[in-house]
Amino acid sequence: MSQTPPAGGHALAQIISDRLGKAERLRNRGEPPWGVDFHPSSSCAAAAALVPEAPGEEGEPLSVAGRLLALRSSGGIVFADCHDESGALQLVASREGSQPELVERLGELDPGDIVGARGRPFRTQRGEPSLRLEGLVLLAKALRPPADKRRGLTDPEQRYRRRYLDLLSEPGARQLFRQRSDIIRGLRRALDERGFLEVETPVLQPIPGGGDARPFSTHHNALGSDLYLRIALELYLKRLLVGGFERVYELGPVFRNEGVSPRHNPEFTLLEIYQAYGNLASMQELCQDLVGAAVRAAGSSPALESERGLVSLEPPFPARPMAELVAELTGLDPEPLWEDPDRFLQEVMRLGVEPPAQASPGRLLFAVYDQLVEPNLLGPCFVTQYPVEVSPLARLGPDPRFVERFELVVAGRELANAFSELNDPLEQRRRLTEQARLRAQGEEEAQPFDEDFVEALEHGMPPAGGIGIGVDRLVMLVTGARSIRDVLLFPALRPSPGEA
RNA sequence: GCCGCCAUGGCGCAGUGGUAGCGCAGGGGCCUUUUAAGCCCAGGGUCGCAGGUUCGAAUCCUGCUGGCGGCACCA
């Protein structure tokens, strides 16, 4: 390994080469730059708390481990900021207070290096909690420098592509992902307390059902069959209701072969819950409870600043039929138009709404709601009475044009989707047959027919309530994140040219 | 998939037609209490990629790649 920097080379190449040289010199001295064990007795934050108040006084010896993010050498004294997950502690080596060798060794380390340090806690003249070094061991030499110490990593591409650098240089990033974990744990705890069983169903499915979305496809070599990554959890969880489990949920990734945006990632985390002998009312209550659990777990206030304005997540959330919201917010009353689809279509187009391919009254109503009402609905609001045409898995309501379904809308976004589940196998067969017909006509998002699922219903599924919650969007809402990429550790990006 | 904006040393930025500059980081040196330490010295990029216009392009044009935002689809 050459120790001479390349003449006229790239700055980064020079840095790496220089650091490699340092690593090599350490190795030659019998100090391996990687792979040494070290077990700190204390976290940096805990050590800082043990520092005596009086200047000049020293505490009992202890050890910490972490990454050096700044080194300041001033002649015979060297300061280094050691960071671990808990916080930071300043390491100090001075000719009068430590072995001279330690001053030397600390001084030749680089920002980014991970070290183990032993010493006595004390306070510097300026009052900074510090550790007077009595021992120092390099645990991992960093060959590349950390991000800019002043500004951190501001290029969003780099933040997402090399998340570890973002986490390292932005304390807020780590905090956000800790909140995400807290929220997910809060949801699980709330469900566990209510007697729900967490299950795992296939990610690879022969028929990707339960939602309207285009799937990713793959192939199983040994089986010689095509498989799809699941777009929803619904049909397998309902099979479990047939099987006698009465309260089940699954929280995990689903995959949709669709566009990427600040609110969409091709893989995202979905929570689906099914409760035998539940209905729409029990799902509303559960939904409110879970949103509340998420807010509490995140340590957030129920009064949240969203892109659309201030939102209060204090229950209860009001419930409003879709047709009522449309009439109120667009002035278009769907009721008198229901028997006159042609006029309905005209009125819809007059509002500037892109009409659906199949212009039935229900689809027209949904189009107006979807394009004009939902995006402007601050909420929280349970939007109820969805047209049957757009809800092939939900039970009909008293008015057979509509199903017993709600979506929870907050700040113009769907946060949850719930039904009284359809358990009539004959009706389900008709609805899925209709979906298959639309699919054959080229509607790629219509649901494929799943004979095995219908057969399961023919064995008898108890009446049930079910709900799906977009976990990433819930996390965004309660943490105030603007982009879904901010709440996903490794969001979807195109492969960079170098790794394509 | 469509539209708009962006792309300069490791990081953050300036430079809108005459052959690139600043701060941080990195290298050498001074300094025993610093904490965005300070001071001195030297170094590093041909300006995302490929073409084109021009006597001459980081700077104008075209295409491509990547990112961001919006639309479409959806959660």
List the domain boundaries for chain A: 11-140, 169-317+379-499
Q: In what order do the strands lie in the sheet with A464-470?
A: A197-198, A247-255, A267-276, A464-470, A413-420, A402-410, A381-387, A319-321
Name the superfamily (CATH) of residues A169-317+379-499.
Bira Bifunctional Protein; Domain 2 (3.30.930.10)
List helix spans (H) across A29-75: 44-49
| Strand B contact nucleotides, protein CB < 7 Å | 1, 9-13, 23-27, 30-38, 43-45, 65-75
pLDDT (mean) for A409-419: 90
pLDDT (mean) for A219-247: 91
CB atoms within 10 A of CB A381: 18
In angstroms, how far is B49 C1' from A153 CA? Answer: 25
Predicted pLDDT at A1: 31
3-class secondary structure, A380: coil
Contacts of residue A63, Cβ cutoff 8 Å, sequence gap at least 6: A38, A39, A40, A41, A42, A116, A117, A118, A119, A135
Strand A129-140 vs strand A87-94: parallel, antiparallel, or unpaired?
A: parallel
User: Using one digit for the tens of pLDDT, what is the confidence trace for A363-378?
Assistant: 888 888 888 888 888 8
Predicted pLDDT at A421: 93
In the predicted model, is pLDDT for residue A195 greater than 90?
A: yes
**Binning pLDDT at 50, 70 and 90, where does residue A9 land?**
very low
In angstroms, how far is B69 C1' from A111 CA? Answer: 35
**Binning pLDDT at 50, 70 and 90, where does residue A348 land?**
confident
**Binning pLDDT at 50, 70 and 90, where does residue A7 land?**
very low
Give the residue among A152, A161, A238 at the shortest CA–CA distance from A491: A161
In the predicted model, is pLDDT for residue A491 greater than 90?
A: no
Predicted pLDDT at A6: 35
CB contact at 8 A, A145 and A18: no
Return phi, psi of residue A75, to 5°.
65, -115
**Nearest residue to B26 via alpha carbon and C1':** A15
A51-59: long-range pairs with CB below 8 Å, 24+: A51/A121, A51/A122, A51/A123, A51/A129, A51/A130, A52/A121, A52/A122, A52/A123, A53/A123, A54/A123, A55/A123, A55/A124, A55/A125, A55/A127, A56/A122, A57/A122, A57/A123, A58/A120, A58/A121, A58/A122, A58/A132, A59/A120, A59/A121, A59/A122
In angstroms, how far is B1 C1' from A189 CA? Answer: 42
Q: How far apart are CA A156 and CA A262, in angstroms?
A: 12
User: Using one digit for the tens of pLDDT, what is the confidence trace for A294-345?
Assistant: 999 998 888 887 777 788 898 899 999 999 998 888 888 888 888 888 888 8
pLDDT (mean) for A87-111: 85
Predicted pLDDT at A350: 81
In the predicted model, is pLDDT for residue A4 greater than 60?
A: no
CB contact at 8 A, A303 and A311: yes
User: Using one digit for the tens of pLDDT, what is the confidence trace for A257-294?
Assistant: 888 888 888 899 999 999 999 999 999 999 999 999 99
Name the residue with tokens 């967490």: A198
Q: How far apart are CA A434 and CA A343, in angstroms?
A: 25
**Nearest residue to B6 via alpha carbon and C1':** A155
N- to C-terminal Cα separation, chain A: 30
Q: Could you give the count of Cα atoms lying within 13 Å of A360 in the half-sphere of its Cβ?
A: 9
* CA pseudo-torsion sign A272, A278, A282, A284: positive
User: Using one digit for the tens of pLDDT, what is the confidence trace for A180-193?
Assistant: 999 999 999 999 99
CB atoms within 10 A of CB A340: 12
Q: How far apart are CA A131 and CA A60, in angstroms?
A: 11
Closest nucleotide to A267 by C1' from CA = B75
Task: Provide the token pair at A136.
Answer: 């120092």
Determine which of A73-82, A397-406, A487-496 has the lowest per-residue pLDDT on average.
Answer: A487-496
**Nearest residue to B23 via alpha carbon and C1':** A150
Predicted pLDDT at A5: 33
User: Using one digit for the tens of pLDDT, what is the confidence trace for A221-232?
Assistant: 888 888 999 999
Q: Compute the mean pLDDT over every residue in chain A, rounded to the nearest whole number.
A: 86
Angstrom CA distances, A389 to A39, A372, A396, A449, stand at 62, 19, 11, 16
In angstroms, how far is B40 C1' from A73 CA? Answer: 16
pLDDT (mean) for A369-391: 88
Name the superfamily (CATH) of residues A11-140.
Nucleic acid-binding proteins (2.40.50.140)
Closest nucleotide to A76 by C1' from CA = B32
**Nearest residue to B12 via alpha carbon and C1':** A151
In the predicted model, is pLDDT for residue A246 greater than 90?
A: yes
